[in-house]
Chain A
């Protein structure tokens, strides 16, 4: 158990819909990272937040957005969902920066039908 929690575990929805994935980092960790893992693309970095502020951005689509709240939990919002958005979405947290160990949550499996 990494100490990072993600909800929900599984999500099945239809194209065009919007969903919110939630992540609670390990106690004391200030950075939260979001990753997408699909069979053909592998593990892709989406975005990082540090203490409430956006720190780094990867290949995150405009239809996706994220935020980190004052209690440091984070949410990833995915809208206008397409079939290709079906993937495992991982959240990870670290104490401060990316050179600190990143601890991954169990992931949310999103299926878009």
Chain B
């Protein structure tokens, strides 16, 4: 059974950074790419980017370039997404999802709240 389990909710102040983890089980993370998406409260889905875990190649959404970093650790089968210089507009549920084209398995989501 394939599962993606994400880290817990975070409360951050504007200007801070957040790092969300996504631990995969049931498959080796290096065999597929992994994507990150987010969903602001009451809004639709926004693609943030993906990482190819076998070679570390990344593709980030243009609006997040310079603020987002996606990494993987094959030894723990875990992916990470770090977002810096947070603003209130970054308040959202963050999802990891397997693959880079369609997204067939998803994490449960991590709520990141940015508030002063």
Co-assembled chains A and B = no
B: residues with CB less than 8 A from A are none
